[in-house]
């Protein structure tokens, strides 16, 4: 049994293997997981993660059972613990995709689960499957990962997607720039990880110069749900907006990606820019999640190291 809790479970070599499998599954419909059942258990709102996992499972011939808005519609309302919920759902399904607002919740679930747990986002902790398809998008659209300059923009303090991709990029020969206001800077644990792996990075507050230099601009939204003060959110929400003029300033072959949803930080007139690949990125997400499900449920290959739980 393999749980997928954190991006640190991958090596550079196993990422190459996963991405080869992902490429082989682009556009595929098959029956390799026929008879298997995936449960998607979501305590926080989701469109892309929940539906793309369900789509991925169905494209592999499997079945899905789902709990959406679990804090309002599950036995959590009655006071049931997460651990007990996992013990119960493990009787119904062959694997569980869990989204929960608490950091470390997926690791907690894995300690009691009799079926594989896949982390669909644990608060401001990690979102490992998002990071995998972000990285896959970079490889497919830029053509390489080693040797590139990646700028990550926006709410880096709370952004689990931004944090997760840093753990993956730390395995490559890249240069990174963090663009954020002082209040939303990347946390020290990520910066210490990059320093340990000798990944050069810088921190800046202005976006315009970085847009002209970077090979990848990873734009993120300012996350309203993570702020204790509505006033602070209102002050910061529009601090970085990529408009068409900024997009047009990018060098040839550079791309803009985004974990989505966007809430104004990328103008709609950027959508038809040759640099904008964030909707294409969503399609890559289904493919990569197909590869993850095949790996975990189909015995396709043994590429995941055990999580540190």
Give me the residues paired with residue 42 across strands.
Answer: 99
DSSP code of 114?
S
The annotated binding site for carbamoyl phosphate is made up of 48-49, 99, 127, 130, 260-261
- Cα–Cα distance between 256 and 274 in angstroms, integer? 9
| Average of per-residue pLDDT values in the chain | 91
* Catalytic hit among 3, 99, 140, 237: 99
Q: Are residues 271 and 220 in the same domain?
A: yes
What confidence score (pLDDT) does residue 191 get?
95
Annotation marks residue 11 as catalytic: no
SS3 202: strand
What confidence score (pLDDT) does residue 227 get?
66
Q: Note whether residue 1 is domain-resident.
A: no
Q: Does the pLDDT at position 70 exceed 70?
A: no
Rounded to the nearest angstrom, the gap between the alpha carbon of residue 190 and the centroid of all alpha carbons in its chain is 16
* Catalytic hit among 48, 149, 157, 185: 48
Annotation marks residue 127 as catalytic: yes
Pairing of strands 37-42, 63-67: parallel
Q: What is the pLDDT of residues 272-297, one digit of tens each?
A: 999 999 999 999 999 999 999 999 99
CATH of residue 92's domain is 3.40.50.1370
Annotation marks residue 99 as catalytic: yes
What confidence score (pLDDT) does residue 309 get?
66
From residue 145, alpha-carbon distances to 8, 25, 135, 149, 168 in Å are: 17, 21, 8, 9, 11
222 and 153 in contact (C-beta within 8 Å)?
no
Q: Are residues 230 and 205 in the same domain?
A: yes
- Cα–Cα distance between 287 and 28 in angstroms, integer? 9
Annotation marks residue 175 as catalytic: no
165 and 193 in contact (C-beta within 8 Å)?
no
Annotation marks residue 78 as catalytic: yes
Q: Are residues 19 and 135 in the same domain?
A: no
What confidence score (pLDDT) does residue 226 get?
64
pTM of the model: 0.91
Tell me the pLDDT band of 217, cut-offs 50, 70 and 90.
very high
Q: Note whether residue 161 is domain-resident.
A: yes
The answer for residues whose C-beta is within 8 angstroms of residue 178's C-beta and 6 or more apart is 151, 152, 156, 185, 186, 201, 202, 203, 204
Q: Does the pLDDT at position 118 exceed 80?
A: yes
Phi/psi of residue 257, nearest 5 degrees: -120, 165
* Catalytic hit among 29, 31, 78, 206: 78
Domain that holds residue 276: 128-281
How many structural domains comprise the chain? 2
The annotated binding site is made up of 48-49, 78, 99, 127, 130, 160, 221, 260-261
Q: Are residues 205 and 262 in the same domain?
A: yes
Residue range 19-47: mean pLDDT, rounded: 94
Q: Does the pLDDT at position 301 exceed 60?
A: no
Using CB atoms within 10 Å of the CB of residue 34, give its burial: 0 to 12 exposed, 13 to 18 middle, 19+ buried.
Answer: exposed
The annotated binding site for L-aspartate is made up of 78, 160, 221
Q: What is the pLDDT of residues 194-210, one digit of tens each?
A: 999 999 999 999 999 99
* Catalytic hit among 3, 50, 127, 163: 127
Q: Are residues 15 and 97 in the same domain?
A: yes
Q: Are residues 119 and 158 in the same domain?
A: no
What confidence score (pLDDT) does residue 124 get?
78
């Amino acid at each position: 049994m393999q749980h997928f809790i954190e991006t640190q479970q991958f090596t550079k070599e196993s990422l190459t293997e996963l991405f080869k499998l992902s490429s082989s599954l682009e556009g595929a419909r098959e029956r390799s997981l026929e008879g298997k059942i995936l449960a998607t258990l979501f305590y926080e709102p989701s469109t892309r993660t929940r539906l793309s996992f369900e789509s991925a499972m169905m494209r592999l011939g499997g079945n899905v059972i789902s709990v959406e808005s679990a804090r309002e519609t599950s036995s959590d309302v009655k006071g049931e613990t997460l651990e007990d919920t996992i013990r119960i759902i493990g009787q119904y399904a062959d694997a569980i995709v869990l989204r929960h607002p608490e950091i470390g919740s997926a690791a907690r679930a894995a300690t009691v689960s009799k079926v594989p747990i896949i982390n669909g986002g644990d608060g401001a902790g990690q979102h490992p499957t998002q990071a995998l398809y972000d990285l896959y998008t970079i490889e497919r659209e830029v053509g390489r990962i080693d040797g590139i300059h990646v700028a990550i923009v926006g709410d880096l303090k709370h952004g689990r997607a931004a944090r997760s991709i840093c753990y993956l990029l730390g395995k490559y020969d890249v240069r990174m720039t963090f663009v954020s206001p002082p209040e939303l800077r990347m946390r020290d644990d990520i910066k210490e990880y990059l320093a340990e792996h000798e990944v050069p990075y810088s921190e800046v507050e202005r976006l315009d110069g970085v847009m002209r230099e970077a090979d990848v601009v990873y734009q993120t939204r300012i996350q309203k749900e993570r702020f204790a003060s509505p006033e602070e959110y209102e002050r910061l929400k529009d601090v970085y907006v990529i408009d068409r003029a900024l997009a047009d300033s990018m060098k040839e072959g550079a791309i803009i990606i985004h974990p989505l949803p966007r809430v104004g930080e990328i103008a709609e007139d950027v959508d038809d820019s040759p640099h904008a690949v964030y909707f294409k990125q969503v399609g890559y997400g289904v493919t990569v999640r197909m590869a993850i499900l095949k790996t975990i449920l189909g015995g396709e290959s043994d590429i995941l190291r055990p999580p540190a739980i």
